[in-house]
Structure 1
């Protein structure tokens, strides 16, 4: 049976025609949106073309990094990914104050360091320890999920704080600390940021075969091995997403208060 799996590895490559048909399918869906006046056709087409270009570019970059097999190049690429992730996070988050880039950067950096030190080096244990195929791809998967969750959590926090303005001011007047006054908003924001991640973790397997597992199986990997990798990735992403949401809340909640522990209405 292992011989059959090995023989099928890489047996289904996607050529240019496959990519073209995929884009045409998206164009048909966008056409339906136009006819039904849903208003998402432009964003859908733009997101599809942007995704194609970015993924192909990253594919060439990872191929180059794997060929060089140099740890410094790996970490340089991850550093660029983190910086880009900071910008994307700030762009996705709505109604947040300016100047939060350092907090977001620190949050993402901590998560990547935890992933590399715990997941890659203690669980996967690649050889060499900086194996680009593992290091870069797993960092990319983590950042993609953490960026989305962090943006949602920050947006929810500042929106919730504004809606609770009079409650927060009352709590402060009664002697509560800024953290105590902000805690309900912190809790609801972390929960909101975790909903997609927990839902994906809970539904994976019977209901959903995640992309990483599906891709490995299609490429000819042993399904059981692919399932183990997918579980590790989903479980770790869930844990690190919770850490990221909690950490970013601790780092940004003070921006809603002045140095005299008064609520900052313009936040």
Structure 2
């Protein structure tokens, strides 16, 4: 397949954007109040992708492990901020930002290092052409799982506070008293990636696999790469959710097995 046949002009991209203009028009007509949000989200996406395209082109040319690691750290920082922003009731102090970020960073870094050094094995193994796109996919899915899990944990504890405190008063440890809440948070955080894996190949063709096929890669080879990526994403998401929830349980209780919801901020009206 000739790659030049698949090249797109900015005019082609702009025509595709007319569908978003249609969505904004329908929002105005139906008084949904989403037109401004659609415009802002689309504009932000365009600017961010254009800038990241230029940045990645420069990074790929430089081939520096330190620059690659620096970009990875910046990605973790932005992902941590997104996790923090999506919480209806955030942890007070630096914990609100650090807990989700640390869980994602540990899980994603472990998975990406194993995936690159032992499985994909590019030369060098930290090659930004492989490391950064893969790290972005892993981090993006872990972000969704961790944010959902932490939000479920805090919301459920707030709602079931009396039941949990009753068990603690009866002598249960914090881990025993919070076990149902912990399970619910873990299930909430894992559900998106489970649904994604279940639908992949039947309901949807993943973007990476579709891109490889469009660029001329044999479909069976594209399938193997996509399976590898999905396994890495699933593993990182599960590990990140587990670390975040266990860390959240530990932070929202203390060594004397007391519930410490005073460590949560009050819910903000604009949350979510």
TM-score by length of 2: 0.91
User: Contact 1:100–1:252 (CA<8 Å) still a contact in 2?
Assistant: no
Separation (CA, whole Å) in 1 of partners of 2:137 and 2:167? 40
Deviation at 1:258, TM superposition (A): 4.0
Separation (CA, whole Å) in 2 of partners of 1:254 and 1:86? 19
* Match of residue 14, structure 2, among 20, 23, 30: 20
TM-score by length of 1: 0.93
Deviation digits for residues 102-122 of structure 1 (CA, Å, limit 9, x no counterpart):
222321221222122211111
Equivalent residue pairs, number: 261
5+ unaligned residues in a row in structure 2: which ranges?
265-272
Map 1:1-267 → 2, pairs under 5 A: 5=1, 8-98=2-92, 99-266=95-262, 267=264
DSSP-derived class of the 1:176 partner? coil
Segment drifting more, 99-108 vs 233-242: 99-108
Separation (CA, whole Å) in 1 of partners of 2:36 and 2:212? 32
Separation (CA, whole Å) in 2 of partners of 1:20 and 1:73? 33
Q: Which runs of 4+ in 1 moved over 4 A?
A: none
5+ unaligned residues in a row in structure 1: which ranges?
none
DSSP-derived class of the 1:100 partner? helix
Q: Which residue of 1 aligns with 2:267?
A: none
Separation (CA, whole Å) in 2 of partners of 1:170 and 1:140? 43
Deviation at 1:219, TM superposition (A): 2.4
Deviation at 1:156, TM superposition (A): 0.4
Deviation at 1:63, TM superposition (A): 0.9
Separation (CA, whole Å) in 2 of partners of 1:85 and 1:265? 25
